Structure 1
Amino acid sequence: MNNSKQFFLFLILIFVVFTGYSQKEITGQVFDHQNEKLSGATVLISKDSVSSILAYAISDVDGKFKIAVETDRDSLFLKVSYLGFETFKKTIGNEAQALNVKLSPSSQSLKEVLVKSEIIQQRGDTLSFSVAAFKGKNDRVIADVLKKLPGIDIRPNGQIYYKNEPIQNYYIEGLNLLEGRYSLANNNLSVEAVSKVEILENHQPVKVLDSLEFSERSSINIKLKKDVTLSGTATAGMGAAPLLWKTNVTPMIFTKKRQAIVTYQSNNTGNDVSGEIRNFSIKHSGSEFDIDKTDWLSIQNVSEPPFRAERWLDNNIHLGSLNILQHIKEDLDLKLNISYLNDYQQQDGSTQTRYFTPTDTIDVIENTNNAIFVSKLEGQLTFENNADKNYLKNQLEFNGFWNANRGFIDRPDAQIKQQLDNPFFGIKNDLRLLRTLGKQLITFDSNTGFTATNQDLLVQPGQFEAIFNDGDPYGEIRQLVSSKKIYTDNSAGFTKALGKFTLSPKFGFSIQNQQLDTDIFLENGEEVLDSDFKNRNQFVESSVYFKNAVSFESKDETWNLSLSTPLEFKSFRLEDENFEEQRGLDRLVFEPYFYVKKKLSAFWDANASAGLSYDFGKLQQLYYGFLLNGYRNLNRYNAPISEETQQNYSGGLNYRNPLKQLFLDASYSYNFTENNLLYSSNIGENGRTILEAVARDNSFDNHSFSAGGSKYFRKLKTTFKLNTSYNLLKRQQLLNNTMAEVKTRSFTLRGSVDAEISSWLIANYSGTSSTYTSGFGERDFQQIETQQHMIDLYFYPKENQYLSVSGEYYENSLSENGDNYFVNLGYQFTFSKPKMDLNINWQNILNTDAFTKAYNNQYYYVQSSYRLRPSQVLATLKFTF
């Protein structure tokens, strides 16, 4: 690998210095060629003919309009359009004025689709969606409406995407109460309490950076109808086959000074409420250390089906969460987020795994029955002062797990018990400070944390007999792992504006000390003393860095550019008491990154990026001694510290037209990676795998393409969404001591339709089609095609009740029983006083008891059959207030 490779990116652009804003009000009236007043004409104001829209209005019944404009431009561009007339375009002065606009008839159809009411408003970089315009009869919480909005996509895990990118923050009345755990509000905030959903494009959450550093990310802000809002949900349900229960009590209060969301949820119906507290936060630069749990050991699990958990999850879950925000004074907030999760799950199924090597195929058949115990406590205390001239955010976070797993595997040649105790504790403090000093902004960041885990895996009978017991069977093998990590990263710098340029140099250092102790014991407590099966590692990673960033925004806001040029000296030291050899590595790395965004017109924009990055070995890929990761996986990495160099290139094109309610996007990315280590997998006849690292230079490349679009048809009250993606990956792999180039290709097409067909019928459809192909070199050894289709029909015989029928179809080309069908039936009656829903739902009418899934992964494929929940009936009473 060439570690001295350099990457140069060049930036030259000069523009005029930023000046202050003042607001002007432009009024006027629109007439046709016969001096008749035109109602519903669209009036747009922008900086010029290609810039984004600053503001717009719709003429009233008298043809009148009024627009407030805030910009420093001397002139503005006015555009007035109406169906059947030529578009009026004129450059006007940036001053308060009254205009009379006369439109001439057009012999050609207009390109614009005109909006007769403001279901979507645009003001600068903010899009406002009217909730009332998109709300359907069976929508109860804000998530029901969000999934219909064009440009917005809610993924199966609950994460929200806008224009195919994850949102940065989720605000309620401008306050970030949940700090990334926004599913709790999304799934429980009553839609009746919300007036608008705002998309904050190019959103900079730190006020003091707003005019200094542009952001390409977007956030969501939920606007409520009242200054004081009491909302939430309360649900109670009972059912049978077996005895079922469901409880959800989630009260909320939102005022100018305080916000609070409290919840208790419990069920055994398969609803995985742990997703309510999943954290989707996007960390700021310099906050790389996290206290996420590391699983060194695991038991063999059955692959989960690719549909909602209510169909397959056999659970008994309890969740409690308290979230409070106190607005102490202007720009100063104190937040507490704490939650506890307790869950017991049972998994029952079978798996057939086929390994493909350049010389042979190996089959493994396993029938699995697992019991999973999850106990998790997490909390976060946040103090934030987000003012115009200063910023301070201190976040103290802790995380504790007390997990235990039990498993039983029935194979044709053996019966195997697994037992795993997997506790974990982590705590960290993240401080960020920005303060104005003269004409520059002083910045300081500090991130310090500690984690610890002690994991214990017991397998009966013992495995890898040839290695541990001279080929003879033996009773049990136990793997113990103890790992601790302490980390600190501290930096200081400043941010200064020079005209339209912003400079942000930063100096800092980081130190991470990680310890790993592992031991293997056989039956009767016999310790394996061979140093090849022990680890006493201490791994120290330290760095000193200078990171400089330059950003530019043109005066007309059509160009945004940024260039970061970090220079970092990294040092790695690994010591193991069991081995005399020590590993060390010192590298001076330069990791430039360049990003550019160009507004092509009011509706089109394009972006491109290029970057060079380095990644060095973590302790998870550095230990000398063998580690029994799972009952048939024995791993070690007795090789030099890994070094990986990545070149990343990407480009994208976006179109968003709020007047037509049309959003389109397309992107392409290419990644080329060079490594100094190659990983060798030796797979035995029974699927037991020994993974080792080999010092050998290699490379792989990855091509990715995605495109998507969404459109709201107002007359049809229908939202249509379509997305597609393609990925091509090539990499080298050592399989049973034979070199092979593994190639994978995947293609996915996703679509959905939400339609209110008539006053008595609502239909929702979603579907996914995918193809995954893998092979060696030019030879494909496996291709798998999958189809997923879901349709929901809601029939309204009366305004306050509906009958629902839903069907699901899943097809898998590799499965012996590849077709799976599900049918569900529901009835809901809505009481007006008090406002509540009585719902009776019959799930899995066909009593489909197993689902067969197959998937590829580079050099093997897995066909698994998962035991599903039986046919069941559940009655719930739900209040949404």
Structure 2
Amino acid sequence: MKKILSLLFVLAFSLIVFAQKTVTGIITDADGKALASASVTIEEPGKNAILAYGISNAKGEYKVTFTSAESNLDLKIKAFNQKPITQSIKNDDQKLNFSLDSQATEIQEVRLKTKLITKKGDTISYDLKSFENKNDRTLADVLKKIPGIEVNKDGTVLYQGEAINKFYVNGKDLMEGGYGTINNSLPKDAVSKVEVLENHQPVSILRDKVPSEQAALNIKLKKSVTMTGRGEVGAGFSPLLWNVKLTPMFFGQKNQWVINYKANNNGESVEKEGNLLSFGSRWEGRRSQTTQKSWLNVESADTPNLPEKRYLLNNVHFVSANLLTSPFKNKEWELKANASYTNNAVERVSSSINVYEVGSPSFTPGGTITSSASNNFYTNAAKGELIFTKNAKKGFFKNTTTWNGYWNDSRADVIQNTPNSVTNLIDNRASGQSLESPTGSFQNSLSTIIPWKDKLFNVMSYFKYQKDRQTLEVNPASYTNFQNINPEFNGYDKLKQYTNSNTLEANHSLSVGFNFKKWTLIPEVGINMNFNRLNSALYGGKNDSFTAINNSYINDVDWNEIQSYTQISVNYKSDRLNLNVTLPYNFYGIAYKDHLNNKNSDLNKSVFEPTFFASYDFASFFKYWVFASQNYNFGSFGYLYGGKMLTNPLSISLRSPESDIMPQFRSRNIGTRLEYRNPLNNLFFNVRYNYGTNRKNILESFTRSGLSSNLALIDETTNTKSQTEGAEIGKYFPKFKSNLSLSFTNTDANNFFKNIPVGVTDPKLVPLTETTNNIQTLTAKFNNAYFSWFSIDYNISMNWNQNYNKTEDFRQKSSGWNHNLAAYIYPSDNHTFGFNWDDISSSTTGLSFRNSFYDLSYQYTWVKRKIDFEFKWLNIANRKLYETVNVDTANKLVMSNQIYIRPSQFMFTVKFNFK
């Protein structure tokens, strides 16, 4: 691995140092006046390909950096109303001044043609109209077709494979990371262009001082004051279906707001639009997606690798409101208020066939086990947020107050058929399961940056309190199958597990920034405090009367952390080089207290956790990245507890190590990436490599009893590693209105675990099991809108997996592919016929499943009013099951699943813009 990295660095820096040349100079007209906006390009003789380009500034100055093996090159200069110049130059650093002669051009016909992609500094602009087709209606529809940009299934926007850090509309960040609503509901006709802000630092006072490796998106609207939005109302059958989407929007110079109500039962999880998809800069304070503490779970039916509209049996109502306003005359101050509420009910049903080889750690006799599960998940969630911000060149202030509430309820009915190795008969087990899980959370984040002379003072403070309560009930108690190794379960009709946890977190820091030319030094001190309490108990029920089983199933645990740290960040930013080195020295003080078992464990550790990244622009279109980090993890709340807990109906957890040892994990990561972005010929590509290691001193071990398991922790050190190589290339062909992209990823990783047979008292006697995994993924995307009457979008993803259990010498290969074809015919401006085809395949030795789905649609457009009337027939083959196969080499298991999906259905929908 070291040789590979060394070779990558040598090649990259050899390219940068030895091959890069720069031409500078001044361009004037015949009268000696500076010419601005003159284009300067470098080309190899006899080739119609631009190596590099530059634009002269207001003083007529230009600078072009290029890389070529040719000894002579052609330099070309063009400017409006000036005679073009072509001159042969040496492949060397030089300064050349030019004077252009005027050349008036008689224009007989004027055609205004917008460039597809333009680049100015760190901003790349895409003309949205150049990438759309007639069937596109929203920003998200078109965004997926822009080269270099991807949109994940969850709505996250990626640029060059990395998530963006901000999503602006007319330069304002209304949604604060939850941009899915605007992306899915902003009409494309309201947008003039999409800007990618590369290396974007969201905090204005830190620009040109603290570099950023992430990009942002800015949506430029056609009007500075825009009232717009999108709406849909639909109904259908098989069963009775309905769909409502109403999202009016207003974008002004002082105020912006979005109101969103979406509800349906046709398989679209609109509530995900409230998720945070980007988190801005660390200097803005701390902000994250609040999640419930998941202590307990019911058994769940599987979900397929399909678009949600194929399988999600839901009934959802989601309402949200977002407001941005400038409350003072000083427009640098902004107030943002966000609120949302979700009410959702989801059904799931699946069945599985698990084939175990003889000697499997989970089911030693081997054989086939069948099971089925049906679920009902009920979600009620509310969120409110107030954000007060000043983001100016002379100061920064941001305070974010957030409240979250969850009132969730889960239900499960499960049946399992297991062969009995003694009687050769089938043992049938069935249970009803329920889980209630309310959660409340409050958090406040404050960050301010105050300039004083040539220094920048940053104060950050964060506070959070969260309370989780969960109750899991299993009926009958015998379903758990723990009676053989846990006789205390005998005699009970049902089991009920209670948990209650409280978390109080407070983080405070102070830093000072010193500027010296292109360097910024930021020393920082801080303290992070985290106080947690867990209480749990398991009760057995008989005749609706519950009693505690015994003290070994009770927890009363504290986990408290105090982390003080000091660090220094070194930042360098020039026109081409961005550099950041963070050197923190952290002290961790962790106290674990088990009040019932009188067990106290403390850990006091000082560690060095540096991070580093650098990027270098060269030859106009290339960028080279290097990044590395080292991190320590000493466990977190919930990693240890000394009483047993029924975490799900088939697993009892006891997270107490053999001795007083505390978790100590160390991870190291290093990576590099080479990017090429050329807006002149619409070509983008990147090549990347990542390598990581992880050392753990505690290993999770399982004691199997049939299909049930006990989880415990043992004192044993393991070292795992992972390695990923990837490449991506995208090209837009404007002459054919086609976009093509290809990407490939290869990942190798290993893992360690232990399965402890029943009756073994010393886990050290059981050998360590190591598994290795190789995953290869190839993805291709293509869209074309060359013909006025036809457009096509095609996506395909193929994967190959090789899993190997080195200890058991058990190897299994699996593969699969997933493709989607969407084709549309436009016989006229009013009529659109659509065909959609999803095809998903999975296979392993001896088993193969293929799932095909077809949709037809017809859309009539009232062009004058911009209203669409859509008829859609989904799953016209009326396929009701999704079938797939997976491999678990660790347990010598092949799993085939059947998941119930939505049947054939018909929808009629009216779609419209608000303006």
Q: Same fold (TM over 0.5)?
A: yes
2:125 to 123, 128, 132: 128
Distance 1:89 1:756, change over 3 A: farther
Q: Deviations over 1:188-232 (max 9, x none)?
A: 001000001000000010000002101111000000001111111
Q: Does 1:438 align with 2:453?
A: yes
Partner in structure 1 of residue 827 of structure 2: 797
Partner in structure 2 of residue 546 of structure 1: 566
Tell me the TM-score normalised to structure 2 length.
Answer: 0.85
Distance apart, 1:681 and its partner CA: 1.7
Partner in structure 2 of residue 248 of structure 1: 245
Distance apart, 1:862 and its partner CA: 3.8
Confirm or deny: 8 A CA contact 2:155 2:277 kept in the other structure: no
Distance apart, 1:148 and its partner CA: 0.5
Partner in structure 2 of residue 303 of structure 1: 302
1:684 to 705, 713, 717: 705
Q: Which amino acid aligns with 1:748?
A: T
Tell me the TM-score normalised to structure 1 length.
Answer: 0.88
- Distance in 2, matches of 1:180 and 1:354, equals 44
Distance apart, 1:530 and its partner CA: 3.2
Distance apart, 1:553 and its partner CA: 2.3
Confirm or deny: 8 A CA contact 1:273 1:319 kept in the other structure: yes
Q: Does 1:390 align with 2:387?
A: no
Q: Which amino acid aligns with 1:341?
A: T
User: Is the partner of 1:149 in helix, strand or coil?
Assistant: coil
Q: Does 1:408 align with 2:413?
A: yes
Partner in structure 1 of residue 350 of structure 2: 349
2:226 to 215, 224, 229: 229
- Calculate percent identity across the aligned residue pairs: 27
Distance 1:69 1:721, change over 3 A: farther
- Distance in 2, matches of 1:341 and 1:367, equals 29
Distance apart, 1:634 and its partner CA: 1.3
Q: Does 1:749 align with 2:769?
A: no
User: Is the partner of 2:185 in helix, strand or coil?
Assistant: coil
- Distance in 2, matches of 1:257 and 1:521, equals 58
Distance 1:411 1:570, change over 3 A: same
- Distance in 1, matches of 2:910 and 2:117, equals 34
- Distance in 2, matches of 1:427 and 1:858, equals 43
- Distance in 2, matches of 1:780 and 1:552, equals 51
1:149 to 146, 149, 155: 146
Confirm or deny: 8 A CA contact 1:291 1:451 kept in the other structure: no
Q: Which amino acid aligns with 2:168?
A: Y
- Distance in 2, matches of 1:442 and 1:670, equals 36
Q: Does 1:336 align with 2:337?
A: yes
1:241-320 matches, within 5 Å, as 241-282=238-279, 284-285=281-282, 287=286, 291-320=290-319
Q: Deviations over 1:646-694 (max 9, x none)?
A: 1111111111101111110111111111111011122332x21211110
Of the structure 1 ranges 294-303 and 736-745, higher mean CA displacement relative to structure 2 is found in 736-745
- Distance in 2, matches of 1:825 and 1:339, equals 34
- Distance in 1, matches of 2:263 and 2:89, equals 60
Q: Does 1:423 align with 2:454?
A: no
Q: Which amino acid aligns with 2:905?
A: Q
- Distance in 1, matches of 2:29 and 2:838, equals 54
Distance apart, 1:708 and its partner CA: 0.9
- Distance in 1, matches of 2:907 and 2:88, equals 59
Q: Deviations over 1:165-207 (max 9, x none)?
A: 0000000001110011111000000100000100000001000
Q: Does 1:668 align with 2:689?
A: yes
1:516-665 matches, within 5 Å, as 516-524=534-542, 525-554=545-574, 557-639=575-657, 640-665=661-686
- Distance in 1, matches of 2:559 and 2:788, equals 66
Confirm or deny: 8 A CA contact 1:744 1:858 kept in the other structure: no
> What is the RMSD of the two structures over their aligned residues, measured on CA atoms?
2.8
Structure 1 portions without partners, runs of 5+: 1-23, 30-39, 57-66, 103-114
Q: Which amino acid aligns with 1:681?
A: F
Partner in structure 1 of residue 717 of structure 2: 697
User: Is the partner of 1:276 in helix, strand or coil?
Assistant: helix
Distance apart, 1:299 and its partner CA: 1.0
Partner in structure 1 of residue 76 of structure 2: 80
Of the structure 1 ranges 358-367 and 850-859, higher mean CA displacement relative to structure 2 is found in 358-367
Distance 1:647 1:198, change over 3 A: same
Distance 1:237 1:591, change over 3 A: same
Confirm or deny: 8 A CA contact 1:26 1:68 kept in the other structure: no
Q: Does 1:765 align with 2:794?
A: yes
Partner in structure 2 of residue 372 of structure 1: 377
Confirm or deny: 8 A CA contact 1:536 1:577 kept in the other structure: yes
- Distance in 1, matches of 2:635 and 2:406, equals 26
Distance apart, 1:288 and its partner CA: 7.6
Distance 1:183 1:624, change over 3 A: same
Confirm or deny: 8 A CA contact 1:773 1:780 kept in the other structure: no
Confirm or deny: 8 A CA contact 1:818 1:852 kept in the other structure: yes
Partner in structure 1 of residue 748 of structure 2: 728
Partner in structure 1 of residue 816 of structure 2: 786
Of the structure 1 ranges 732-741 and 853-862, higher mean CA displacement relative to structure 2 is found in 853-862
User: Is the partner of 2:205 in helix, strand or coil?
Assistant: helix
Q: Does 1:775 align with 2:807?
A: no
Partner in structure 1 of residue 20 of structure 2: none
Distance apart, 1:136 and its partner CA: 1.1
Q: Does 1:167 align with 2:167?
A: no
Q: Which amino acid aligns with 1:870?
A: P
Q: Which amino acid aligns with 1:878?
A: K
Aligned residues: 816
- Distance in 1, matches of 2:533 and 2:310, equals 42
Confirm or deny: 8 A CA contact 2:276 2:289 kept in the other structure: no
Of the structure 1 ranges 559-568 and 158-167, higher mean CA displacement relative to structure 2 is found in 559-568
Of the structure 1 ranges 354-363 and 489-498, higher mean CA displacement relative to structure 2 is found in 354-363
- Distance in 1, matches of 2:354 and 2:59, equals 63
Partner in structure 2 of residue 206 of structure 1: 203
Distance apart, 1:297 and its partner CA: 0.9
User: Is the partner of 1:136 in helix, strand or coil?
Assistant: coil
Distance apart, 1:313 and its partner CA: 0.7
Confirm or deny: 8 A CA contact 1:76 1:94 kept in the other structure: no
Confirm or deny: 8 A CA contact 2:150 2:157 kept in the other structure: yes
Confirm or deny: 8 A CA contact 1:52 1:599 kept in the other structure: no
Q: Which amino acid aligns with 1:754?
A: N
- Distance in 2, matches of 1:340 and 1:52, equals 53
Distance apart, 1:140 and its partner CA: 0.6
Distance apart, 1:749 and its partner CA: 1.0
Confirm or deny: 8 A CA contact 1:728 1:745 kept in the other structure: yes
Partner in structure 2 of residue 838 of structure 1: 869
Distance 1:743 1:527, change over 3 A: farther
User: Is the partner of 1:187 in helix, strand or coil?
Assistant: helix
Distance 1:100 1:204, change over 3 A: farther
Distance apart, 1:417 and its partner CA: 0.5
- Distance in 2, matches of 1:878 and 1:25, equals 55
- Distance in 1, matches of 2:488 and 2:555, equals 22
Distance apart, 1:337 and its partner CA: 1.1
Q: Deviations over 1:260-280 (max 9, x none)?
A: 110111111001101211111
Distance apart, 1:292 and its partner CA: 2.2
User: Is the partner of 2:638 in helix, strand or coil?
Assistant: helix
- Distance in 1, matches of 2:161 and 2:443, equals 31
Q: Deviations over 1:125-156 (max 9, x none)?
A: 00000112112111111111110100000011
Distance apart, 1:89 and its partner CA: 6.2
